[in-house]
Amino acid sequence: MKKIILTWPFATSSIRHIFPEKDGYEVSVITKKQEFYQEYIMGNNVEANLKNLGLVIFPGGEDVDPTIYGAENLYSYPNRARDVLEKDVLDYMLSYMPNTKILGICRGHQLINVMMGGGNLVQDITMQADSFNLSGRHPGEHVIEKTYGFATCFKYVNSMHHQGVVKTGRGLTPTSYFGGLIESAENDRIITTQFHPEFMDDTQSEEFWARIKAWIGQRKPSSSNNKKINVRSDAYKSVDFTDNPIISNIF
C-alpha cells in the first residue's frame, strides 16, 4: 500500500475518494507530532514506513499565525496547535526526508511558502484588495492568468481563501497567478496550490490528480521528467511581486 498522510483532518473524505484503498492507497491523518515521529522517525518500522510513504498533504483550514513570518496579527485567525504540528513536520521533512513528495493546498500553500523563506502573507485580501486588482474576495471561480508546470491542467479554479502569497519560498517557482497573487508553485518534490483541486469535480482536477499519482511514484525525478512538467531552469530563485509600490506597503 502506498501511504498518503494528511497533516490535519481537513477534506479527509475527499482525499480518500481521490486515493482509494482499492487502488492501493492508505490515507492516514495525524493530529499530534508524536504520531508522525513514531511512524517515521523513532518507531520500529520506520524504514518500511518511509519506503511506502508516497505523499504528505498539508491541507486547507485556518490561517497561518503571522508570528511565524514575523508580522503583526492584523486579520488572521490561527490555530496555534496546528501551526506547531505542521511547522515541525515540515521542518523535519525538508531536512531529513528528501525523497518524500509534499503537496500544500490553500493554507498548506501559504505555510510551505512562508516556511521556505517567502516572507509575509497578505492577511486579508478583502481589506487589502486594491493592491491586488481584486474586488473584495476572489469570486467563487476565476480564470487564472498564467500557468505552466502542473498548473497547466487548469484554465479556471475555485477560491475559498482570504489570505494570499506574493513571494514564493526559496527553491519554489510560481506556476500560476491571479490578481497579483501566486496561485501555485512547485519544484521537484513540492507542489502547492492556493485553490482546492480536491473540491473540483471535473476533467481538470482529474488530470491534476493523475499527474500527482504519477509524480509520487517517481523516487527521484529525472531531467526528462523535469522537462515534461516544464519546471523552469531558475526554479531555485524566490520570486515575488513585492517590488510593486502598492504591495510593498504591506511588508
pLDDT band (50, 70, 90) for residue 201 = confident
State pLDDT tens for residues 150-176. Answer: 989 998 888 888 899 999 999 999 999
Instruction: With a cut of 70, say whether residue 131 has pLDDT above it.
Output: no
CB–CB of 178/169 below 8 Å? no
Model pLDDT for residues 107-127, shown as the tens digit of each residue: 999 999 999 999 899 998 878
Q: Which helix (H) or strand (E) holds 142?
A: strand 141-143
Residue 128 domain boundaries: 2-250
Task: Look up residue 114 and give its three cell numbers.
Answer: 512562508
Q: Is the pLDDT score of 238 beyond 50? A: no
The confidence band for 140, taking pLDDT boundaries of 50, 70 and 90, is: low
Structure confidence at residue 217 (pLDDT): 84
Per-residue confidence band for 10, with pLDDT thresholds at 50, 70 and 90:
very high
Helix, strand or coil, per DSSP, at residue 53: strand
State the average pLDDT for the chain: 83
Q: Please determine, for residue 136, whether its predicted confidence score (pLDDT) is greater than 60.
A: no
CATH number at residue 169: 3.40.50.880
Does 246 have pLDDT greater than 50?
no
How many domains in the chain? 1
Q: How far is CA 70 from CA 81, 121, 164, 209, in A?
A: 18, 10, 16, 34
| CB neighbour class for 178 (10 Å; exposed up to 12, middle 13-18, buried from 19) | buried
The model's pTM is 0.85
- Give the per-residue pLDDT at 46: 87
